[in-house]
Amino acid sequence: MKKALKVIGVVLGAIVILLCGVLIYVVSAFPNVGEAPELKVELTAERIERGRYLANAVNVCMDCHSTRDWNKFSGPVIPGTMGKGGERFDHSVGFPGVFYSRNITPSGIGRYTDGELFRVITSGVTKEGNAMFPVMPYPYYGQMDEEDVYSLIAYLRTLEPIDNEIPESSADFPVNIILRTMPAKGTPTKRPLLSDTVAYGAYMANAGGCIECHTPTNDQHQIIREKAFSGGREFGMPGGSVIRSANITQDPETGIGKWNRSAFIQRFKAYADSSYTPPTVAAGEFNTIMPWMMYANMTEEDLGAIYTYLRSLPGYKSEITKFTPAAAGQ
């Protein structure tokens, strides 16, 4: 018996040593995306305007990096908070830890070089070499045209500085270890010509992160790519209710298969009407995280290209229960 216990002890000791070795290796070797590039972005008027468009209507950076008014439909950005950060993503909405959006005004990113900003946007690695949890969808931004990323950087440099200290994010164990392996070096692509409508629509849909919200996830909170754009991803809302994203595949019964290009564009542009005022929504009533007022500012050409791209993909039948109110007493 003593001999058996000794053997078990030796085996357990070896396992502990092996695990410690793996842990030390992961901590020391990752994230592994290379050094930030030597880069100086010229702040041209063209880049600043392109960056403004992307940040506010396509990538919608200001959606997460500002303060949204959840007492209104679609959580419009509160004036005066553009880029200040501080939005909290925690266990109540399904995240494995507590994460905060960063201050991306010059008060928050002034210490970053342009190359360091490029790396964090496209690869998810901070100035200090820490891995970011992909609340910010850097895997998609890493596929954008480098010139578009330069435009984002140029625009961010022009934001009104807002002093706002943000708490540090904290991932739960073992996600805090796995997190170090998540960042990957970006694989930039050239923005296709608008005339190549499907390819251009695919590019803009990627920049907008459409697939991330409009695809269901598995138990590890990873999107199920074979069900891309079929909707059903759950999002917890203030007050405890749950909403689910829409099916935007071309299935005629449960998706957008019966929509024409004009109807798709108008679905967005309705929120760009100068007479539109988002209605007040009480806690627990139906609301949405979809930033309609931001996406509504996309050009008709870009929205139409996204529609054409979505219609080029297979349809997927998926009945979605759009809204589940909070349980009584929650």
Segment among 113-117, 181-185, 211-215, 273-277 with least mean pLDDT: 273-277
User: How far is residue 323's CA from residue 235's CA, in Å, rounded to a whole number?
Assistant: 10
Give domain status of residue 151, yes or no: yes
Quote the DSSP letter at residue 326.
Answer: P
Mean pLDDT of 139-166: 97
Give domain status of residue 3, yes or no: no
Number of domains in the chain: 2
pLDDT higher for 283 or 99? 99
CB-neighbour burial class of residue 12 (10 A; exposed 0-12, middle 13-18, buried 19+): exposed
Which tokens in the block code for residue 166?
Answer: 């943000």
Mean pLDDT of 316-321: 94
Segment among 17-31, 106-120, 155-169, 295-309 with least mean pLDDT: 17-31
Give domain status of residue 89, yes or no: yes
- Of the residues 135, 159, 189, which one is the last residue of a structural domain? 189
Is the pLDDT confidence value at 183 over 60?
yes
Is the pLDDT confidence value at 25 over 50?
no
Claim to verify: residue 210 and residue 312 sit in the same structural domain: yes
Which tokens in the block code for residue 97?
Answer: 């830890």
For residue 7, the model assigns a pLDDT of: 52
- Of the residues 139, 173, 189, which one is the last residue of a structural domain? 189
For residue 30, the model assigns a pLDDT of: 47
pLDDT digits (tens, 9 = 90+) for 185-208: 999 999 999 999 999 999 999 999
Claim to verify: residue 181 and residue 322 sit in the same structural domain: no
Residue-number span of the structural domain to which 314 is assigned: 192-330
Claim to verify: residue 76 and residue 64 sit in the same structural domain: yes
Kindly indicate the confidence band of residue 120, based on its pLDDT and cuts at 50, 70 and 90. Answer: very high
pTM of the model: 0.90
Claim to verify: residue 149 and residue 257 sit in the same structural domain: no
